[in-house]
Structure 1
Amino acid sequence: MGIGAPKVAASGHWQLKKTVVLVGMMGAGKTAVGKALAAMLDVPLLDSDVEIEAAANMTIAEIFSRDGETFFRDRETQVIDRLLDGHRCILSAGGGAFLSERNRDLIGAKGVSVWLQADLKLLWNRVKHKDTRPLLRTADPYKTLKDLYEARLPYYEMADLAVPAHASYTIDQMAIKVCEALQQRPDVLEKVT
């Protein structure tokens, strides 16, 4: 966030009562929007993938290669559960984390899920020039992204809240939209005087 960046959508002080878990596709803005949102609410931002790597002292690619996806998904659930039990924060979840019923149940019981709802065109525009997305290292990365998007959409639609993303939004504007959605949930975000 830059100097003079807006605080929460309306002035005042807010108390985060539950961890907010940002879910969505790669390129949806979970990390960038999460940073801005965490700054606005004065809470930490955690990233489940970063926490998994730290706990394993390995990259996710190394975990997949050595131990397989099932092992990785079990560790992912353990880490998400631990993070949900910690201090209230903004949690950026890996793109595949919300596909797991165990993870959705944990998030629903201990936090609130917010789907950053970006359409396929916006996602492609954000990821097509990056080589940091292992899942897109295929012969046809657009088709791969489209297939992932279509397969994951029904899971993301189960999120507690959905906040539509638009190409015209800045990171701060998107974070404000998430704040506005959270303000409709006094069990999650409460105004304090």
Structure 2
Amino acid sequence: MLREKLPDGRSYKQKRNESNNIDVYMKNYKHRYGKKKGLYKLDCYYENKIFKKIDYIYDLAKRMRNDKKSFKKNILQNFGYRLIFLSLIPLFGIVFPIIFNEKYPLIDVCYKGHTHTSPCNGYYELLFTEEQWKIFLPIYTTLLSLLTILVLSINFYILIKVLKYERLKCGKGKMSIKEYCRFCKDIY
């Protein structure tokens, strides 16, 4: 019946392209969010937050078209410092094992309640005993590894959502791997 009215199938094509539009996608957020459960609901929530931030950046770019210096400063203040600091946290954690390395320490340390006979002149006294230190070091290494994985996952997630936003904004639907790689190359 619909084909008789529109023989070239424009209604279906228009509907398909409309669903890839970012504005329609953002308007249908509440409907999608209500249907999701568990981790999918969390993904939908954070996707919406990221899309709103990207949308804010685009609006800011439109408003400050002529003033690129203040635009970059504003973006760096709002988003850049947080992301850079989040990415540097694991690097700060790596410094600790380097300084207090057992074989080649940068700072000579003495454990609290040391048992050797020579005095600790020129050494820094730690707040831990040697037994506590041996317990603390594997826990610290595990937490540092988990934190590194978490930070890398967050950065990768944001990258994927930025690509999805750009894909929706361009009106691209499903793409092959070759088209997707070409699309990523054009964006970055």
TM-score range, shorter chain: under 0.3
Between structure 1 and structure 2, the one with the greater Rg is: 2
Structure having the higher helix fraction is 2
TM-score using structure 1 length: 0.21
TM-score using structure 2 length: 0.21
Structure having the higher strand fraction is 1
Q: Which has the higher contact order (CA 8 A, sep 6+)?
A: 1
